[in-house]
Every structure is written in structure tokens, then in C-alpha cells.
């Protein structure tokens, strides 16, 4: 299952990767044994999926290895929780997919929410299949995967033709419904916005050099020059593109940017570090600013911060935790779903890790965003598979909302995704390039936009019902 999550075109492994675990769980009647096997499976899966955490160049090899092992040990508990929940429902095979989805859904909440390892992410290469996320979100895809594994296990154990037919029908249905949900070309047209996505490919070590800010701003403006001259509607720079407090202390860089935009109608969206001071309390943010030749138009402060990288969990309650130096930043989380104006359209910007949260992007779109821009800095990982895994998850956000998604990354992978989830333009990892294209903002109100993760919520309610029913029967 972990291999299915890698950019190796092995997503089909997820269709049967749970069967060995099911054999173990069904043959081991002791709870202790089942939980042990579940934890071993969970840790192996998580390690195979996110082993790259150990190779973060922004920290020491020791801290990188410890953070990776700690994450594996913690996230491996997900499968243990699935088995416990499954046990409470009476260990019926058909309730196993229910228990899995409930845990996947619950584990996206809170400061340690991490949808990255959702089983659904293994199916991103199958564009027709994942169109169903417009209705069920990613949890419907995960449910289908686990159910296919359960049916596969039943075919192997029961050896009856009817179970093989059930499995074939179950497998085919979402491909048929996905083809019906796929937007046609006419649905992807309309009034457009011209964009220029600038991937500067600036190494993190270069940002730390003396005098780097001046060099980087000059390089970014030079790269953006043709787009500015052609009055491109929106020019996009990546997360923390300028290594300074652009709006506060770096007046020279801000002046250079405004001067470059003087004779152009272009707007510039860039990731920045930002701080605000109130009553002698300094608060820093990972932010995104929309600029024009006249100055600042709007500012977004990142809402979903990366635990242990952008802040220490619980540091808001225990301020002394901020003094721990593990190589992390100490950002404050924002609380506004900012909407930026552009021509007659409206859009929102998110930062890096936020692209993995379906409900977060849904909130922006329901606040009237007609397309979403993600500014990203995956420069902490100079090699696959982290950048590829991260970029691919943004495809789901386009399908769930039927909005174009634009991803601008420092070292890659930058891409433009249309409303059907097609990657129309892409710049690969560790390349310097500019994507210049036209996108077509959307206004469609999908089922997912209207009702959110109601599929997962109904599954959760149903699982609770079966738990109560099982407990009553035992009494």
C-alpha cells in the first residue's frame, strides 16, 4: 500500500494490498494479536509512504530521522484505531471499510491532522475514477478501495462465482459514474484570466547567503518581465519568495516591485513572511500578499500550519514551548478566508501544506473564490517523492470544487490544473521556468461544495449505530 502512494504508477497495488492484513485479522481471534499486527502494518505503510521526512535539508540529519520515526510511530496508530473500531462493530467484514473511513476522516482534524496518507491519494493517477470525489470527497475513494479489498478477500476465501461477480460490479461502477461526472470541454471554457506562474528554482541555501534578498528580487523581476510587459492579469511567485519582511522592513524590494509594475495592469501574488505588532507583542505569519503598482491589495495569513515545522503544538497554551529550538519557525495561525479581487473575478491563495486539506479549500470556495492559487516551497526536499506526492493531492481539490487550481512552487513542482483535474501545464522538479497560460474561473456549486464531507459523516454515524447495536446484542 505504501508503494501505491509513490510516484511509480503503482496505484493498482491498493486494489488488493489490504488482503494479507485481512487474512491476519480474521485468523487471529485475540485482540492483542490483532492490534499488534495492525500496528506493524500501519508503521510499515507509513514508513514506506513518508520516509522522506528524514531527508529534510532544513534541519540536522538526527532531528530529521527522529521526526520521521516519531511520525511513523504516531501515524501507525491509525490502523490500530481502525481495528479497535472494527472490533466494537462486531468484526463483521462489511464493517471494516466503515471503520477505516471513520478513522481517516477523524484524523484530519486538530493540530496534528494529516490527510497526506489517505488511501485515496494512491488513486490520483486514475482520473476517471477520482471524478467521484465531486460527490463523496476523498473518503468515498478510500471507502471503495477498502471495500474492493474486502470483496477480494471474500472471493479468495469463499471461492464462489457470485462473489467474483459482486467484485467485478463493485470495481466497475465508480469508473462508469466517474466518466459521467467528468466535465466536457464546453464546461471548461468561459471568460478567462491570464496567469504567469514563476518557478525560480532558488535553493534554500542561496536564500541564507548575505545580500540574497536583493539578488532574488532582481532575478524574480527579470523572470517576470515578459509577463509584466504583456499585462498578464496575475503573476505568481512562490511561498516566501522574498527572504525578508517585504511589507514591513524591506522597502527597497517593495519599491522595486511597484516600479516594475508601474506601466502594467498586472497584479503580483507572492508568498511572504509577515509580522504585526500590538501592545509590544510581536506576531509572525506565513502569508501571501497581492500587490499592484499602487501597493498592497490584500493579505492572507496561513491558517493550517505544519506542526513541528512552523510551530510547536500547544505553544499557544504553553508559550515556553516556543523557546524550543528544533529548527522550526514560530508562526501564528491566521483565521480569515481571504478573498482577493482580480478583474471581475475573485480568488483565494493558500500556502503549501494547506492544499492537502479538502475542507479548508472548500471553505475558501464557499467564500466566493472562483479559483485557488497555492504558493509552495518544497525546497526542503530536493529529490522525489515528497514534491510529487504533495503536488498530486491538489488534483483532488480541483475535482471536489470544479475550480481551476494553480500551484506555484519554488523548486517545483509548479502546475496548472483545470476543473476536471487535468494537469494542463507543469514544470518539473529543480527547473527554472515560467508557465504562461489562461485559466477559466468556475462558479459551479458541486455536491461536495454544498454538503462537504457528508459521505464520511454518514459513515461515522452509521458506524456509531452499528457499535451501539452490537453492544445491545451482547447485553
Task: Name every residue whose Cβ is closer than 8 Å to that of residue 201 and which is 6 or more positions away in sequence.
Answer: 410, 411, 412, 430, 431, 432, 433
Kindly report the length of the chain: 475
Contact of 41 with 79, CB cutoff 8 Å: yes
Residues 402 and 254 in one domain: yes
Residues 24 and 127 in one domain: yes
Residues 92 and 7 in one domain: yes
Please give the C-alpha separations between residue 255 and each of 215, 236, 441, 458, in angstroms, as whole numbers: 15, 18, 31, 53
Structural domain tally of the chain?
2
Cβ burial 106-130 (10 Å sphere, 16+ → b, else e): ebbeeeebbbbbbbbbbbbbebbbb
Here the cell at position 358 is 479538502
Sole residue written with cell 491566521: 334
Residues 145 and 201 in one domain: no
Residues 287 and 376 in one domain: yes
Indicate the DSSP class of residue 307: B
CA distance 150 to 138: 19
Please give the C-alpha separations between residue 198 and each of 256, 279, 345, 380, 426, in angstroms, as whole numbers: 17, 38, 21, 18, 11
Contact of 140 with 95, CB cutoff 8 Å: no
Strand partners, 198: 434
Residues 372 and 414 in one domain: yes
Domain holding 174, by residue range, is 3-182+452-474
Edge to edge, the sheet with strand 340-342 lists 340-342, 345-351, 372-376, 405-409, 414-417, 423-427
Q: What's the N-to-C CA distance of the chain in angstroms?
A: 38
Residues 167 and 130 in one domain: yes
Sole residue written with cell 529548527: 327
457-468 pLDDT, tens per residue? Answer: 999 999 999 999
Contact of 13 with 48, CB cutoff 8 Å: no
Contact of 437 with 422, CB cutoff 8 Å: no
The per-residue pLDDT for 209 is: 83
CA distance 138 to 105: 9
224-239 pLDDT, tens per residue? Answer: 999 999 999 999 999 9
The per-residue pLDDT for 30 is: 85
Residues 142 and 261 in one domain: no
Please give the C-alpha separations between residue 433 and each of 204, 266, 287, 411, 424, in angstroms, as whole numbers: 17, 19, 23, 10, 15
Residues 354 and 437 in one domain: yes
Here the cell at position 34 is 490483532
Residues 397 and 264 in one domain: yes
Closest listed residue to residue 111, CA positions, set 352, 283, 333 = 333
Closest listed residue to residue 86, CA positions, set 39, 50, 131, 35 = 35
Residues 26 and 122 in one domain: yes
Alpha carbons within 13 A on the beta-carbon side of 133: 31
CATH number assigned to the domain comprising residue 206: 3.60.110.10
Task: Name every residue whose Cβ is closer than 8 Å to that of residue 451 and which is 6 or more positions away in sequence.
Answer: none
Task: Count CB atoms within 10 A of the CB of residue 237.
Answer: 30
Question: Which stretches in the chain have pLDDT values below 70?
Answer: 186-189, 314-329
The per-residue pLDDT for 185 is: 72
Sole residue written with cell 473518503: 139
Q: Is the pTM of this model over 0.85?
A: yes
Closest listed residue to residue 394, CA positions, set 384, 407, 378 = 407
CA distance 324 to 318: 11
Residues 380 and 438 in one domain: yes
Amino acid at each position: 500500500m505504501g508503494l501505491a502512494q509513490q510516484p511509480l504508477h503503482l496505484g493498482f497495488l491498493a486494489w488488493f494490498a489490504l488482503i494479507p492484513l485481512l487474512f491476519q485479522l480474521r485468523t487471529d481471534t485475540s485482540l492483542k494479536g490483532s492490534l499488534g499486527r495492525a500496528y506493524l502494518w500501519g508503521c510499515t505503510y507509513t514508513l514506506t509512504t513518508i520516509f522522506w521526512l528524514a531527508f529534510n535539508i532544513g534541519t540536522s540529519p538526527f532531528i530529521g530521522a527522529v521526526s520521521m520515526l516519531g511520525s511513523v510511530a504516531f501515524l501507525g496508530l491509525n490502523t490500530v484505531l481502525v481495528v479497535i473500531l472494527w472490533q466494537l462493530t462486531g468484526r463483521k467484514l462489511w464493517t471494516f471499510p466503515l471503520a477505516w473511513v471513520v478513522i481517516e476522516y477523524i484524523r484530519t482534524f486538530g493540530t496534528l491532522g494529516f490527510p497526506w496518507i489517505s488511501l485515496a491519494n494512491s488513486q490520483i493517477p486514475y482520473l476517471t475514477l477520482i471524478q467521484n470525489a465531486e460527490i463523496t470527497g476523498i473518503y468515498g475513494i478510500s471507502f471503495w478501495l477498502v471495500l474492493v479489498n474486502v470483496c477480494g478477500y471474500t472471493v479468495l476465501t469463499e471461492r464462489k462465482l457470485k462473489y467474483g461477480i459482486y467484485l467485478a460490479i463493485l470495481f466497475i461502477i465508480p469508473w462508469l459514474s466517474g466518466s459521467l461526472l467528468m466535465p466536457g470541454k464546453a464546461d471548461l471554457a468561459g471568460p478567462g484570466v491570464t496567469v504567469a506562474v514563476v518557478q525560480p528554482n532558488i535553493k534554500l541555501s542561496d536564500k541564507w547567503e548575505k545580500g540574497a534578498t536583493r539578488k532574488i528580487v532582481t532575478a524574480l523581476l527579470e523572470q517576470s518581465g515578459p509577463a509584466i510587459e504583456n499585462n498578464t492579469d496575475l503573476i505568481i511567485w512562490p511561498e516566501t519568495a522574498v527572504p525578508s519582511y517585504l511589507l514591513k522592513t524591506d522597502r527597497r524590494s517593495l519599491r522595486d516591485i511597484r516600479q516594475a509594475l508601474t506601466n502594467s495592469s498586472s497584479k503580483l501574488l507572492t508568498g511572504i513572511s509577515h509580522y504585526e505588532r500590538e501592545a509590544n507583542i510581536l506576531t509572525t505569519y506565513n502569508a501571501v500578499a497581492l500587490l499592484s503598482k499602487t501597493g498592497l491589495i490584500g493579505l492572507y495569513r496561513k491558517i493550517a500550519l505544519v506542526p513541528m515545522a512552523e510551530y510547536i503544538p500547544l505553544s499557544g497554551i504553553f508559550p515556553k514551548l516556543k523557546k524550543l529550538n528544533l529548527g522550526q519557525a514560530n508562526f501564528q495561525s491566521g483565521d480569515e478566508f481571504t478573498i482577493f479581487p482580480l478583474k471581475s473575478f475573485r480568488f483565494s491563495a493558500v500556502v503549501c501544506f494547506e492544499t492537502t486539506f479538502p475542507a479548508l479549500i472548500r471553505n475558501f470556495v464557499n467564500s466566493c473564490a472562483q479559483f485557488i492559487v497555492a504558493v509552495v516551497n518544497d525546497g526542503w526536499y530536493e529529490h522525489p517523492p515528497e514534491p510529487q506526492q504533495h503536488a498530486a493531492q491538489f488534483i483532488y481539490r480541483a475535482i471536489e470544487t470544479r475550480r481551476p487550481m494553480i500551484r506555484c512552487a519554488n523548486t517545483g513542482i509548479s502546475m496548472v490544473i483545470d476543473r476536471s483535474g487535468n494537469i494542463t501545464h507543469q514544470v518539473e522538479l529543480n527547473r527554472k521556468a515560467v508557465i504562461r497560460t489562461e485559466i477559466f474561473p468556475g462558479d459551479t456549486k458541486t455536491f461536495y461544495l454544498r454538503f462537504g464531507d457528508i459521505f464520511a459523516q454518514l459513515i461515522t454515524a452509521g458506524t456509531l449505530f452499528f457499535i451501539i447495536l452490537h453492544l445491545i446484542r451482547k447485553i
